[in-house]
Structure 1
C-alpha cells in the first residue's frame, strides 16, 4: 500500500518488489532490486527515507524518518523481521537482525552487524565493521557496547544522550512529561488523517 503524506509520494524503482501488505508512506525512495516484505512499514514523517539498491526490508520491520532525522540505508543491507530504524543512517552491507532497534541520530557504518534484539541508541556511532552481540546495547560516541545486565552503565551513557530532549524537545524533568509528550507527538502523527492512498 502506498500513501501520499505531507505532499510527498513514494518513488519506487520498477525493479523493486513491494509486498501488497507493506506500507510505504510519504517521501520514500526505494532503489533497484530492493525487496520490501509483508507487513513492513516505511513512513517518512517530515524527512526523507532513502533505501539503496538491493536492500531487503523483512516482515514487520519499521523504518521511520522524523521531522528532524532522515533515514538513509545503503545498498545490500538487510533489515530483519520486526527490526526498527528511526531517523538513522545505515551504511552498506549492514546486517540488522530480527528485533534490532536503531534510534534517532545513530550512524551504523558499512558492514556492521547488529545481532538479534540488540539496540543502537540515539546519536550512537558504530564504526565500520562493528558487531553488537545478541541483546547487547551500543551507546554513545565514543562507542560503548554493553551487556543487557549492565543497566547502570547503560543508563549513565543514555542519560547524557537525552532521549526526550533530542527526539521530542522536552526536558526529562518536566513534571507532566508523558502528558506533554503524548499530546505533542499525537498532534504530529494526526497529520496522517490527510494521507491518500495511491494504489
Structure 2
C-alpha cells in the first residue's frame, strides 16, 4: 500500500518490487532493483527517505524519517526482518541483521555489519567496516561497542546523547516528561489522518 502524506507521494523505480502488504508513506524514493517484502513499513514523518539501488528491506522491518532526521540508505544494503532504522544514514554494502535497532542521527559506514538484535544508538557514528556483535550496543562518536551487561557504561555515554532532547525537544528532567512527550508526538502522528491511499 502506498500513501500520500503531507502532500508528497512515494517515488518508486519501475524496477523495484514492493510486496502488496508493505506500507510506503510520504516522501520516499526507492531506487532500481530494490525489494521491499511483506509487512515492511517505510514512512516519511516530515523528512525524506531515500533507498539507493539493490536495497532489500525484509519482512516487518521499519524505516522512519523525522523532520529533524531524514533517512538515506546506500546501494546494496540489506535491512533484516524486524529491524528498525529511524532517522539514520546507512552507507553502501551494509548488513543490518534481524532485529537490529538504528536510532536517530546515527551514521553507519560502508561495509559495516550490525548483527542480530544489536543496537546503534542515537547520534552514534560507526566507521566503515565496523562490526557490532550479536546483541551488543554501539554508542557515541567515536563509537564505543559494548556488551549489554555493561549497562552503566552504556548509560553514561547515552545520557550525554540526550535522547528526549534530541528526538522530542524535551528536557529529561521535566516532571511530566511522558505526558508532554506522548501529547507532542501524538499530535505529529495525527497528521496521518489526512493521508490518501494511492496504491
- Structure 1 residue ranges (4+ consecutive) displaced by more than 6 angstroms after TM superposition: none
The DSSP-based 3-state class of the residue aligned with 1:3 is strand
Rounded to whole Å, the distance in 2 between the matches of 1:151 and 1:127 is 23
Rounded to whole Å, the distance in 2 between the matches of 1:8 and 1:110 is 30
Structure 1 vs Structure 2 CA RMSD: 0.3
- Within the alignment, does 1:190 sit opposite 2:190 as a pair? yes
Rounded to whole Å, the distance in 2 between the matches of 1:160 and 1:130 is 22
Rounded to whole Å, the distance in 2 between the matches of 1:175 and 1:132 is 35
Q: Which residue of 1 aligns with 2:123?
A: 123
Q: TM-score, normalised by structure 2?
A: 1.00
Q: Which residue of 1 aligns with 2:12?
A: 12
Q: Which residue of 2 aligns with 1:135?
A: 135
Q: Displacement of 1:10 after TM fit? A: 0.2
Q: Which residue of 1 aligns with 2:70?
A: 70
Rounded to whole Å, the distance in 1 between the matches of 2:126 and 2:52 is 19
Q: Displacement of 1:143 after TM fit? A: 1.0
The DSSP-based 3-state class of the residue aligned with 2:39 is coil
The one-character-per-residue Cα deviations of 1:31-73 (angstroms, maximum 9, x if unpaired) are 0000000000000000100000000000000000001100000
Q: TM-score, normalised by structure 1?
A: 1.00
The one-character-per-residue Cα deviations of 1:147-194 (angstroms, maximum 9, x if unpaired) are 000000000000000000000000000000000000000000000000
Rounded to whole Å, the distance in 2 between the matches of 1:142 and 1:22 is 35
